[in-house]
A and B are shown apart, each in its own frame.
Chain A
Amino acid sequence: MTMPVVAARSLTKRFGAFVAVDGIDFEIAPGEAFGFLGPNGAGKTSTMRMIGCVSPRTSGELRVLGLDPAESGADIRGRIGVVPQEDNLDTELTVWDNLMIYGRYFDLPRADIRERAAELLEFVQLSDRRDSKVDPLSGGMKRRLTIARSLINRPEALLLDEPTTGLDPQARHLLWDRLYQLKRSGVTLVLTTHYMDEAEQLCDRLVIMDNAKIVAEGPPRKLIADSVTREVVEVRLPLDADTAFEAARLKRFGDRTEPLADRVLVYTDDGDATMHAAVDEGFGADSMFVRRASLEDVFLILTGRTLED
C-alpha cells in the first residue's frame, strides 16, 4: 500500500473561541488531484495552511508526506509547493529575480535554479516576460508566475488555494490547462475552490466543506450521481413571485424542488419530459431550461445554501 501524501484524522483548528476546522478526516493519495470545495469561510484555507505547515493544528492528527508538521515543518515545506490565495510576489523585482530568490529560499544551487526557472517560464508561457517587472503583469500572468515559483523545488505535492479566483475566463482556462499538465506529470494537486466547475474539471476526488466540517466526499461524478438526479430544470420566475409556493406547485413534475431567490430548481431524471409536462399544464414562468446536475446542486441539497452566497 502506498503512503498517502496527506492524511488527517479529527483535524481541528481553533482561533480563540472560533472553530475554523472542526475535526475533519481525509486522505490524499499520491498523484491524485484532490479538492476542497465549499463557500468562503468554510475552513478550506485554514486546512490548507495546516497542510502547508505554516499554521499549527489545534488538535487531531495530520501527516504530510508521512511526516508530522509539528515536528518536521521545514522538511515538509521543502518538498511541497504552495500557491496562495493572494499573490505575494516581489512586485518591484523582475519575473526572473522572483524565481531566483524563491529558489534560494529552498537552498537550491543558483545554476540549478537558472535551469529550472527557464523551464518553468516556458511551461507557464512567460518566457518573453522574464526581464519585466512583476507589477505591470496581468492578474493571470501573476498567477502563472506564482505557479512557476511554487514548482521551483520540484515539489511532490502542490497546494493551490483558490487558484483562479478573480481571473477572467480565458486566463482560468489557460491555468486549468497548465494544472492538468502537471497532474499528468504525476504531481499531487491539492486545491481549494468555491467554483464547482473548477472542482469538476480538475479534481479526481473532493470533499465538500461547510461550517468547518466535511459534509460529503467522493469523485465529482459520483457525488452528483449519489445525491442528485441526473438533470435539473431551472424555472425562472418573475421578481414578485413566491418561489416557495411555486416550488410546491412544481413538485409533482419532478423528484424534488429547491426554491431559490428568483427561480426554482426541479430535480428529475428526464429534464425534457418534466419541462414539457409543466409547459403543457400551462405553468407560467419567465423561462425554463434543462441542465445536467452539478456539484452546486450537491452542495445545495446537503446544506440548503448555494456555494457563492
Chain B
Amino acid sequence: MSTPPVVRVVEREALVYARLWRGLAFSTFVQPALYLAAMGLGLGGLVKAHTGSVAGLSYLDFIAPGLLCASATQLAAGESMWPVLGGVKWMRQFHGVVATPIGPGELYSGFVLWTAIRSMLGAIAFLVVAAILGAVPSAWGILAVPAAGLCSAAFCAVLAAYSIRLDSDLSFPMIMRLGILPLFLFSGTFFPINQLPSGLRPFAALSPLWHGVELARAATTGQFHAGAIATHIAVLVGCIAVGAYFGVRNFAWRLSS
C-alpha cells in the first residue's frame, strides 16, 4: 500500500505543526474568537441600537462567517510567503524534499493542501466559539469549514506560486498591507459590500475572500441561492486552478535551478 506523495508532504507539515502548535494556537484560535466577541457583541450592540440588523441579520450573525474566512485568508497569506521563501532559500528544506521521490509539483500541492487543512482546523475551533455565542443560527453552519478551506487554498495556491520565484522577502510586507489588509476589511467581512461606493463594488466582487465569506455566510445562516453558491465555488476553484498552473511550474523551475 503506497501513500500518495502529496499526503506524505502533508504528514511532514502536520508533524511540524503537532510539535509547534502551542506557539501558533493564539493566532489561530484565540485571536479570531476575541475579534468575534469584541466586534460581534460590543459593536453588534451599537448596530442593534441604531439600525437593528445588517443585511437582515444580527451583526453578530453577519460578522461571524466574515471573520471566519478573513482569519483563514490571513493564515493562508502568512503561510504562503515567508515559509515558502524559507523553504527554498533560508532553511532550504524544500531542496531536501525534492531529492526524494517527492516531486516539486507534489511538494507544492501538499503545501497548499496542508494550509487548507490548517485553516479548517482553525475554522472548526472558531465555529465552536461562534456557536456558543449564538452566532451560528443554522445547522448548515458546519459547511462553513470547507468554505474556509477553499478560501484559504485559493490564497495559498496563488501566493505560494508567487513566493517561490523570489530572492528576497521585501515585497511581502507590502502584499500584506496593500493586498491582504484591504481585502480583509472590504470583502463583505465587516459590512455588506453594497455599503461601498458604487464604483468600488465590482472590485469587492473580484475578491476571493468575498466569495469565501458569502459561502460561509450562506452556511452559517442557512440562507442561500444555489446559483450564487455555484458561482462562489467556481471562482475559488478557479483561483486554485490558476495558482496551481503556475505553482507547479514555478516550484519545478526554482527547485531545479
Binding site for B on A (CB under 8 A): 15, 49, 52, 54-56, 73-75, 77-78, 82, 84, 86-93, 97, 100-102, 104-107, 149, 153
Contact = CB atoms under 8 A, between A and B. Distances in A.
B106 to A, nearest CB: 9
Given A77-B99, A90-B93, A97-B19, A105 B257 contact: no
A86 B92 CA distance: 8
Contacts of A78: 100-101
A107 B9 CA distance: 11
B98 interface: yes
A145 B138 CA distance: 53
A107 B101 contact: yes
A77 B16 contact: no
B257 A89 contact: no
Interface in B13-48: 15-16, 19-20
A73 B103 contact: yes
Contacts of A88: 91-96
20 contacts: A15-B257, A54-B98, A54-B255, A74-B101, A75-B101, A84-B95, A84-B96, A86-B92, A88-B91, A88-B92, A88-B95, A92-B19, A93-B19, A97-B15, A104-B11, A105-B12, A105-B100, A106-B101, A107-B8, A149-B96
Nearest to B104: A54
B171 interface: no
A84 B99 contact: yes
Contacts, number: 74
Contacts of B95: 54, 84, 88
A92 B20 CA distance: 9
Contact of B2 (A97, A101, A107): A107
Interface string B99-114: 1111100000000000
A97 B93 CA distance: 14
Contacts of B256: 49, 54-56
Contacts of A52: 99
Tell me the dominant secondary structure on chain B's binding face: helix
B51 interface: no
A107 B3 contact: yes
Given A75-B101, A93-B16, A97-B19, A102 B8 contact: no
A90 B99 CA distance: 15
B97 interface: yes
A212 B240 CA distance: 41
Given A88-B95, A105-B100, 10 more contacts: A74-B102, A84-B92, A84-B95, A86-B92, A102-B96, A102-B100, A105-B12, A106-B101, A107-B5, A153-B100
Contacts of B96: 84, 88-89, 102, 149
Contacts of A75: 101
B226 to A, nearest CB: 41
Contacts of B101: 74-75, 77-78, 105-107
Contacts of A105: 8, 12, 97, 100-102
Nearest to A73: B103
A92 B19 CA distance: 9
Nearest to B23: A92
Interface centre among B16, B19, B100, by most chain A C-beta atoms within 10 angstroms, is B100
B12 A101 contact: yes
A78 B5 CA distance: 12
A101 B100 contact: no
Interface in B227-257: 255-257
Contact of A104 (B12, B19, B91, B103): B12
A88 B100 CA distance: 13
Contacts of B91: 88, 90-91
Contact of A54 (B8, B12, B16, B99): B99
Q: Which 6 A-B pairs have the closest CB atoms?
A: A88-B92, A105-B100, A88-B96, A82-B99, A78-B101, A74-B101
Contact of A100 (B2, B15, B100): B15
Contacts of A49: 256
